[in-house]
């Protein structure tokens, strides 16, 4: 197992050129979404994508570095971004929860200056729940202090990615399943909820393995204390994945595969399972049935139950048997 970051230089060398001159005092984007809570009641979420220094890990599949800076933002920048986000929040029903996603780890001191934590906690006091993301390596005392400063319930999302024993070490995440399990257990001991991210068809995984290993990943996450698992279809954009595709080591999942993985993961799940629908059209080959299939997945996210399959007379699709 290679956990030393020896692939970092190659991963950085194949990245596409992008503009990383981001405004330190404005979030990258702000949007509204809805997801069911543990009682399957709809909960409106304000999602804020913060701008901060790039994550220290260089995961093969990650393209989130595009939205980060090359240096640590000054103290006060993140609270200002949150202030701007709150003023830009879409209108409608009040938001029950806020997701502060920062393309890395919220508890990384080079991403979010620790001196801002108390002010950030005060800014968020009117929400019921605050969701942040973190690599397991940053789960520790700073997280506990932030939890104590918050009025709302804290939830930490961690990238599990996959439990496939041959694939996880090759993603350059420098994390083992034991690292994840220890961090999840520590969070639960502090009464902090856990959300896990899993990839649908990461690199080095054959098509015929996807459904089985997605299901195994979901089972592992819930066994270790997660209350939510989000399935993320693996897509091009990192640069490394494009290179791996030319070598036969990666192919994005088809919409058929995404559906089968979600169907298999949701059946008998011990908690809520969501599939990420952002940019889902890029995985579809048939415009005639795509809208219906998108609606089915969206409703399954909302209801947390299987729904009738979508049939298509043009491509012959049947989402139950494909």
Structure confidence at residue 322 (pLDDT): 46
Average pLDDT of the segment spanning 63-68: 95
Number of separate domains in the chain: 1
Average pLDDT of the segment spanning 127-133: 98
Burial class of residue 58 in the structure, from the number of CB atoms within 10 Å of its CB (0-12 exposed, 13-18 middle, 19+ buried): buried
Q: Is residue 310 part of a domain?
A: no
Query: How far is CA 272 from each of CA 118, 220, 230, 233, rounded to the nearest angstrom?
Result: 31, 14, 9, 17
Cross-strand partners of 159: 197
Tokens, residue 102: 């920062």
Q: Is residue 2 part of a domain?
A: no
Q: What pLDDT, in 10s, does the model give residues 30-64?
A: 999 999 999 999 999 999 999 999 999 999 999 99
Taken in order 149, 155, 157, 162, the sign of the CA dihedral is positive
Q: Is residue 171 part of a domain?
A: yes
| Mean pLDDT, rounded, of the chain | 94
Average pLDDT of the segment spanning 165-179: 96
Average pLDDT of the segment spanning 2-25: 86
In the predicted model, is pLDDT for residue 15 greater than 60?
A: yes
Q: What pLDDT, in 10s, does the model give residues 207-258?
A: 999 999 999 999 999 999 999 999 999 999 999 999 999 999 999 999 999 9
How is 218-229 classified by DSSP, letter by letter? Answer: HHHHHHTT-SEE
In the predicted model, is pLDDT for residue 16 greater than 60?
A: yes
Phi and psi at 44, nearest 5°, equal: -80, 130
Structure confidence at residue 318 (pLDDT): 65
Average pLDDT of the segment spanning 152-166: 98
In the predicted model, is pLDDT for residue 2 greater than 70?
A: no
Q: Is residue 241 part of a domain?
A: yes
pLDDT band with cut points at 50, 70 and 90 for residue 321: very low
Q: Is residue 308 part of a domain?
A: no
Instruction: Please report which residue ranges of the chain form alpha helices under DSSP H.
Output: 8-13, 77-88, 117-123, 141-149, 177-189, 210-223, 240-246, 255-266, 287-303
Q: Is residue 309 part of a domain?
A: no
pLDDT band with cut points at 50, 70 and 90 for residue 313: confident
% the chain with pLDDT above 90: 91
Structure confidence at residue 143 (pLDDT): 98
Q: Is residue 277 part of a domain?
A: yes
- Whether the full predicted model's pTM is greater than 0.85, yes or no, is yes
Average pLDDT of the segment spanning 90-101: 94
In the predicted model, is pLDDT for residue 113 greater than 90?
A: yes
Q: What pLDDT, in 10s, does the model give residues 293-311?
A: 999 999 999 999 999 989 8
Here the CATH number for the domain that contains residue 155 is: 3.20.20.70
Identify whether the C-beta of residue 146 lies closer than 8 Å to the C-beta of residue 117. yes
Q: Is residue 26 part of a domain?
A: yes
Structure confidence at residue 5 (pLDDT): 59
For residue 206, give its domain range: 8-303
pLDDT band with cut points at 50, 70 and 90 for residue 288: confident
In the predicted model, is pLDDT for residue 4 greater than 70?
A: no
Q: What pLDDT, in 10s, does the model give residues 173-184?
A: 999 999 999 999
């Amino acid at each position: 197992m290679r956990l030393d970051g020896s692939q970092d230089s190659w991963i950085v060398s194949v990245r596409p050129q992008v503009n990383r001159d981001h405004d330190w005092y404005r979030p990258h984007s702000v949007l509204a979404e809805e997801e069911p809570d543990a009682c399957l009641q709809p909960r409106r979420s304000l999602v804020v994508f913060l701008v901060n220094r790039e994550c220290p890990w260089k995961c093969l599949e990650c393209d989130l570095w595009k939205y980060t800076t090359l240096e640590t933002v000054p103290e006060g920048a993140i609270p200002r971004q949150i202030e701007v986000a709150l003023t830009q929040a879409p209108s409608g029903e009040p938001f029950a929860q806020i997701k502060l996603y920062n393309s890395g780890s919220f508890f990384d001191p080079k991403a979010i200056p620790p001196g801002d934590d108390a002010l950030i906690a005060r800014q968020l006091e009117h929400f019921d729940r605050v969701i942040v993301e973190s690599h397991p390596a940053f789960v520790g005392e700073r997280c506990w202090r932030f939890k104590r400063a918050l009025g709302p319930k804290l939830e930490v999302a961690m990238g599990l990615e996959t439990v496939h024993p041959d694939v996880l070490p090759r993603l350059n995440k420098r994390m083992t399943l034991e690292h994840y399990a220890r961090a999840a257990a520590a969070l639960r001991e502090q009464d902090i909820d856990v959300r896990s991210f899993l990839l649908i068809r990461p690199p080095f995984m054959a098509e015929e393995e996807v459904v089985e290993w997605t299901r195994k990943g979901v089972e592992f996450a819930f066994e270790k204390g997660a209350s939510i698992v989000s399935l993320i279809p693996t897509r091009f954009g990192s640069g490394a994945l494009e290179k791996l595709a030319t070598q036969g080591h990666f192919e994005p999942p088809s919409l058929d595969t995404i559906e089968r993985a979600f169907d298999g993961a949701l059946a008998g799940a011990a908690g809520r399972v969501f599939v990420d629908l952002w940019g889902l059209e890029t995985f579809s080959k048939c415009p005639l049935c795509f809208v219906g299939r998108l609606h089915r997945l969206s409703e399954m996210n909302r209801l947390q139950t299987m729904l009738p399959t979508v049939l298509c007379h043009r491509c012959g699709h049947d989402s139950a048997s494909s």
